[in-house]
């Protein structure tokens, strides 16, 4: 294949097969290598998985240095007689490019540029240790040719692809490539051109418009993220998303709308709030609870909430037992705290209990599809929904801590109702979770300016399945959302 890339000219130095896929290895004059694994369907190349490697000659001890690097790297060492030759490869992220996209070459140029910059950074870091990393073009051929010319080095570049990267091209039971996972197919434009969007651009989305129409848009996004093998935690108070488990009857419509997938159901785990899914009072925002109930003055409410955080409790009954031991409260305040907790018990006793673990909500389904964790909130009152949803988010924040988890999406279709109270404090939780890789799709009748810093995409329903999409700092466009793969969701 003819790759017209920047930083050339590029020379194809190897073609062959790797793990059942056609592969190619490119090299430019700066000895930057591109490993390319092609995505082929019906004998035609439709995309490729690409990773870059900048080669440097290593002089000195590289083993301990490579372990401290924050960037991916690889060391290839070869001994001939009394001489040892080392090549140090600074690697890039793995990306999938879709050949249908006009700008796919720009994505490849971007990782080459990033790889060269990273190589300069790593070379600078090496100078502070006992290691010297030198560009190949500034080194005598004898210092690198025994390694660079060895076919095992080529094999090492291919084997360096992580399993998570290779999952971007899934191999089915018969050796078929199922689908790419970098772009989300949304539907067609007015010219009947297929519109796809990078998943990263839709990780933080707000959908606005009439309720049923935006629920349909949320449903389509949920399907696409499940196709991308991400767990979707979906709050549902109308059973709208229950159809995700069963294939749709849209086979003909999908074909007419140029959708490459057939009708399909998804793995689904259902929970019902208050029945088999409770939240712990210890994870709830007690200060917010008192504000909603209109009890306790501001100063006391803050003091009681802070003291309660130090106690281990799941229910109002358990909190009442702990109040006498709160040294920060005087006797009068303890009586006041007990009365307030009794009011919480009277209003929300069935809501609170031992929380389910977030691991159970985010559990990955075996295989290539993500699991939909649908939480039915139909039986909750308006106030209970606010408390429940916000407590789940706080529990997620507490359990995830500082561990990245970029396989989870959280869908809140009625965020304007369930996040409106106390949102100022909650945005910190949302932004922290997003920084750890967790995605959000919010729904609202109108745009919520409080979430502006938490989103990268706005999707506004113009009417029916016609939506206008605005990606921050990128592009605006219209798309007619595709038919569903599952269930029978309606936008009318």
455: domain CATH number is 3.40.50.300
Q: Provide the number of structural domains found in the chain.
A: 3
Asked whether the predicted pLDDT for residue 175 surpasses 50, the reply is: no
Query: Are the C-beta atoms of 438 and 410 separated by less than 8 Å?
Result: yes
Angle, nearest 10°, between helix axes 382-400 and 331-348? 110
Q: What is the pLDDT of residue 356?
A: 80
Q: Is the dihedral of CA 89, 94, 100, 106 positive or negative?
A: negative
| Domain end among 298, 329, 348 | 348
What residue has token string 């229910």? 315
Q: What is the pLDDT of residue 299?
A: 79
Q: What is the mean pLDDT of residues 234-257?
A: 94
Q: What is the pLDDT of residue 374?
A: 96
| Domain end among 171, 195, 215 | 171
* 487 inside domain: no
* 490 inside domain: no
Token output for 448: 């919520």
Alpha-carbon span 247 to 250, nearest angstrom: 9
377 lies in the same domain as 242: yes
27 lies in the same domain as 124: yes
Q: What is the pLDDT of residue 412?
A: 96
* 5 inside domain: no
| pLDDT tens per residue across span 347-399 | 988 999 988 888 888 887 766 788 999 999 999 999 999 999 999 998 888 87
* 486 inside domain: no
Q: Is the dihedral of CA 148, 149, 152, 156 positive or negative?
A: positive
Q: What is the pLDDT of residue 2?
A: 79
pLDDT tier, 139 (very low <50, low <70, confident <90, very high otherwise) = confident
Q: What is the pLDDT of residue 273?
A: 93
More confident residue, 234 or 227: 234
| pLDDT tens per residue across span 453-472 | 889 999 999 999 999 999 98
More confident residue, 157 or 442: 442
Rg (CA), the chain: 27
Token output for 338: 């007990």
Q: What is the pLDDT of residue 383?
A: 92
309 lies in the same domain as 415: no
pLDDT averaged over the chain?
84
Q: What is the pLDDT of residue 424?
A: 80
18 lies in the same domain as 140: yes
| pLDDT tens per residue across span 305-330 | 887 877 888 899 999 998 888 888 88
Lowest mean per-residue pLDDT among 89-103, 190-204, 263-277, 332-346:
89-103
Q: What is the mean pLDDT of residues 46-50?
A: 85
Work out the burial of residue 385: count CB atoms within 10 Å of its CB; fewer than 13 is exposed, 13-18 middle, 19 or more buried: buried
pLDDT tier, 204 (very low <50, low <70, confident <90, very high otherwise) = very high
Asked whether the predicted pLDDT for residue 411 surpasses 90, the reply is: yes
Work out the burial of residue 428: count CB atoms within 10 Å of its CB; fewer than 13 is exposed, 13-18 middle, 19 or more buried: exposed
Q: What is the pLDDT of residue 404?
A: 57
| Domain end among 171, 199, 234 | 171
Q: What is the pLDDT of residue 207?
A: 98
* 4 inside domain: no
* 1 inside domain: no
Q: Which stretch of DSSP H or E encloses residue 78?
A: strand 73-80
End-to-end CA distance of the chain: 47
| pLDDT tens per residue across span 70-116 | 667 888 888 888 888 888 988 887 777 878 777 788 889 888 998 89
* 55 inside domain: yes
Q: What is the mean pLDDT of residues 170-189?
A: 53
Beta-carbon contacts of 178 under 8 Å, excluding residues fewer than 6 positions away, are 170, 171, 172, 368
Query: Are the C-beta atoms of 27 and 11 separated by less than 8 Å?
Result: yes
99 lies in the same domain as 240: no
162 lies in the same domain as 27: yes
Work out the burial of residue 420: count CB atoms within 10 Å of its CB; fewer than 13 is exposed, 13-18 middle, 19 or more buried: middle
303 lies in the same domain as 388: no
* 94 inside domain: yes
330 lies in the same domain as 395: no
What residue has token string 């591109």? 34
Work out the burial of residue 74: count CB atoms within 10 Å of its CB; fewer than 13 is exposed, 13-18 middle, 19 or more buried: middle
Domain range spanning residue 227?
184-278+355-481
pLDDT tier, 214 (very low <50, low <70, confident <90, very high otherwise) = very high
328 lies in the same domain as 392: no
Alpha-carbon span 163 to 177, nearest angstrom: 15
79 lies in the same domain as 193: no
Asked whether the predicted pLDDT for residue 164 surpasses 70, the reply is: no
Alpha-carbon span 195 to 222, nearest angstrom: 17
More confident residue, 174 or 33: 33
Asked whether the predicted pLDDT for residue 57 surpasses 80, the reply is: yes
pLDDT tier, 21 (very low <50, low <70, confident <90, very high otherwise) = confident
Token output for 302: 């803050």
Token output for 178: 């199922």
Instruction: Report the alpha-carbon angle 52-56-62, nearest 5.
Output: 110
Query: Are the C-beta atoms of 300 and 278 separated by less than 8 Å?
Result: no
Q: What is the pLDDT of residue 233?
A: 95
Asked whether the predicted pLDDT for residue 197 surpasses 50, the reply is: yes
Q: What is the pLDDT of residue 212?
A: 95
77 lies in the same domain as 193: no
Buried b (16+ CB within 10 A) or exposed e, 293-331: eebbeeebbebbbebbeeeebbbbebbbebbeebeebee
pLDDT > 90: percent of the chain = 35
Alpha-carbon span 437 to 138, nearest angstrom: 40
Q: What is the pLDDT of residue 180?
A: 36
Alpha-carbon span 62 to 48, nearest angstrom: 32
Q: What is the pLDDT of residue 232?
A: 94
442 lies in the same domain as 309: no
Alpha-carbon span 150 to 13, nearest angstrom: 12
């Amino acid at each position: 294949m003819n790759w017209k890339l920047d930083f050339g000219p590029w020379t194809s130095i190897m073609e062959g097969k790797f793990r059942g896929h056609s592969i190619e290895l490119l090299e430019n004059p700066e000895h930057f290598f591109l490993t390319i694994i092609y995505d082929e369907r019906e004998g035609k190349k439709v995309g490729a998985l690409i990773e870059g490697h900048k080669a440097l000659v290593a002089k000195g001890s590289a083993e301990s240095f490579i372990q401290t690097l924050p960037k991916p790297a690889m060391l290839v060492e070869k001994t001939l007689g009394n001489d040892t030759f080392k090549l140090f490869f600074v690697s890039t992220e793995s990306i999938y490019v879709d050949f249908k996209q006009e700008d796919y070459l720009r994505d490849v140029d971007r990782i080459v540029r990033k790889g060269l910059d990273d190589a300069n950074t790593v070379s600078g870091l090496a100078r502070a240790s006992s290691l010297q990393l030198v560009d190949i073009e500034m080194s005598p051929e004898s210092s690198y040719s025994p390694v660079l010319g060895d076919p095992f080095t080529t094999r090492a570049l291919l084997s360096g692809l992580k399993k998570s990267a290779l999952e971007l091209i899934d191999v089915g039971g018969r050796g078929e490539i199922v689908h790419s996972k970098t772009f989300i197919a949304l539907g067609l434009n007015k010219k009947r051109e297929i519109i796809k969007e990078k998943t990263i651009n839709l990780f933080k989305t707000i959908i606005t418009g009439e309720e049923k129409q935006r629920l349909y848009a949320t449903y389509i996004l949920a399907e696409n993220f499940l196709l991308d093998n991400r767990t979707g935690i979906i709050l549902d108070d109308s059973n709208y998303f229950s159809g995700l488990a069963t294939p749709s009857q849209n086979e003909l419509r999908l074909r007419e709308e140029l959708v490459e997938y057939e009708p399909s159901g998804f793995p689904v785990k259902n929970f019902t709030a208050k029945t088999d899914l409770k939240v712990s009072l210890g994870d709830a925002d007690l200060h917010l609870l008192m504000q909603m109930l209109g009890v306790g003055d501001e100063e006391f409410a803050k003091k009681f909430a802070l003291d309660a955080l130090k106690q281990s409790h799941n229910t109002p009954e358990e909190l009442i037992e702990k109040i006498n031991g709160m040294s920060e409260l005087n006797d009068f305040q303890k009586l006041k705290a007990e009365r307030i907790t009794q009011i919480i018990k009277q209003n929300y006793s069935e809501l609170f209990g031992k929380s389910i673990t977030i691991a159970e909500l985010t559990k990955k389904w075996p295989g290539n599809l993500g699991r939909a964790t649908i939480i039915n909130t139909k039986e909750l009152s308006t106030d209970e929904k606010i408390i429940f949803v916000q407590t789940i988010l706080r529990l997620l924040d507490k359990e995830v801590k500082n561990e990245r988890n970029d396989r989870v999406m959280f869908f809140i279709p009625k965020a304007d109702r369930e996040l409106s109270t106390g949102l100022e404090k909650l945005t910190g939780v949302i932004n922290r979770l997003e920084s750890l890789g967790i995605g959000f799709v919010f729904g609202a009748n109108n745009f919520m300016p409080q979430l502006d810093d938490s989103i990268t995409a706005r999707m506004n329903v113009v009417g029916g399945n016609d939506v206008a999409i605005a990606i921050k700092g990128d592009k605006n466009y219209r798309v007619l959302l595709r038919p569903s793969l599952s269930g029978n969701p309606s936008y009318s």
